Amino acid sequence: MERVESSAGSRYLYAVVVYFFLWIVLTYPFSIHEWEAGAAIALLGALLTYKQLSVSGMKNIERLGILLFWYLPVFIWEMLKANLHVAAIVLNPKMPIKPGIVKIKTNLKSPVAKVWLANSITLTPGTLSMDIDGQYLYIHWIKVKTKDVEKATQEIAGSFEKILEAMFK
């Protein structure tokens, strides 16, 4: 299959759109001054970096959309639930905990996707990714609910894995 190089103009335009979109998403509150500053920074940033970018169709935009509108809300929700769970353990010392190391299995193929999964697990309180070995991750869990690989996988990684499959397909 022959690779078609994108023109410098389309790479520049792509960079401006992505940078401006990120500026708007990350800036609050919205004001005309923020939009103007974002446009200026996007134009300048694109001018400095467009030669290093390659436009690969909608794939990068699709990944960004999945990240912002699907992964982040799920990640924030899972982190909130885990924080409340760990806070309940800390505030109630009589609450039983059962720490241990469990093995979970992932269907993710990309090494980058596996690292995203491991980091997502580690960033939610009460779990810590310890190792990635092929399709398996070893997780320290503050309250082991099951040692069954499939059940532990669903409990710990279930909400992240489908999203990461879509992001890194």
Ordered per-residue pLDDT tens for the chain, 169 residues: 334 445 767 778 877 888 888 888 777 777 888 888 888 888 888 888 777 665 454 456 666 666 767 788 888 899 999 999 899 988 988 888 889 999 999 999 989 889 989 999 998 888 999 999 999 999 999 989 889 999 999 989 988 898 888 888 7
Residue 59: its pLDDT value, please?
57
Residues 74 and 163: their CA atoms lie apart, in Å, by: 9
Number of domains in the chain: 2
In a shared domain, residues 48 and 93: no
- Whether residue 94 sits in one domain with residue 39: no
Following DSSP, what letter does each residue of 77-136 receive, concatenated? HHHHHHHHHHHHHHH-TTS--B-EEEEEE-----HHHHHHHHHHHHHSTTEEEEEEETTE
For residue 134, give both structure tokens: 């092929």
Residue 66 half-sphere exposure, CB side, CA atoms within 13 Å?
16
| pLDDT for res 93 | 80
Q: Are residues 67 and 20 in the same domain?
A: no
146 in a domain, yes or no? yes
The β-bridge partners of 129 are: 139
Q: How high is the pLDDT of residue 62?
A: 64
Q: Which of 16, 37, 55 is the last residue of a domain?
A: 55
Indicate whether 36 and 80 sit together in one domain: no
- Shared-domain flag, residues 65 and 47: no
Q: What is the pLDDT of residue 58?
A: 43
- Domain carrying residue 34: 8-55
Task: Report pTM.
Answer: 0.65
pLDDT of residue 65: 66
